[in-house]
Amino acid sequence: MEKVTRMGVSLDPELLKEFDAYIGTHRYTNRSEAIRDLIRDALATEEWAKGTGTVVGTITVVYDHDAHQVVDKLTKIQHRHHHSVHSTTHVHLDEHMCLEVIVVQGRPKDVLALADSVKATKGVKHAQLARTAGK
């Protein structure tokens, strides 16, 4: 187990009450776990906002594979942005609808450009970028 440093946090009673409710809703076993996750989320958001360094995430895409050559278009987009595409997973939802998860890694502006291209592709029903930290 890695070494951790203990610290104290001062909160007004109402904020603590809300935080404890948050902990219960999200099923944390203690306050420290919740605080660590919130700090990690803030740091990941900051990393994406800075626009520097390497970020990671996923682009989840739902599309009708029969529509407007969407499969070919999505493949071409991924090849055009090959430096940002780490891997993909393809799922057949039914006879026509597909879900694809594109794991991305790279500079924030490149990953965002890839996500925007995927979202704008005719035939895509829904696409969403989930941002996370690489560390």
Cα 73 → chain centroid: 22
Q: Does domain 55-132 have CATH number 3.40.605.10?
A: no
Quick one: pLDDT band at residue 46, thresholds 50, 70, 90?
confident
What pTM was computed for the model? 0.81
What is the structure's pLDDT at 47? 85
Give dist(CA 122, CA 49) in Å, integer.
Answer: 28
Mean pLDDT of the chain: 93
Paired sense of beta strands 124-132 and 55-64, if any: antiparallel
How far is 134 from 106, CA to CA, in rounded Å? 10
Residue 1 has pLDDT above 80, yes or no: no
Q: Which of 127, 114, 121 is nearest to 78 (CA)?
A: 114
Q: What is the pLDDT of residue 74?
A: 97
47-66 pLDDT per residue, tens: 888 888 889 999 999 999 99
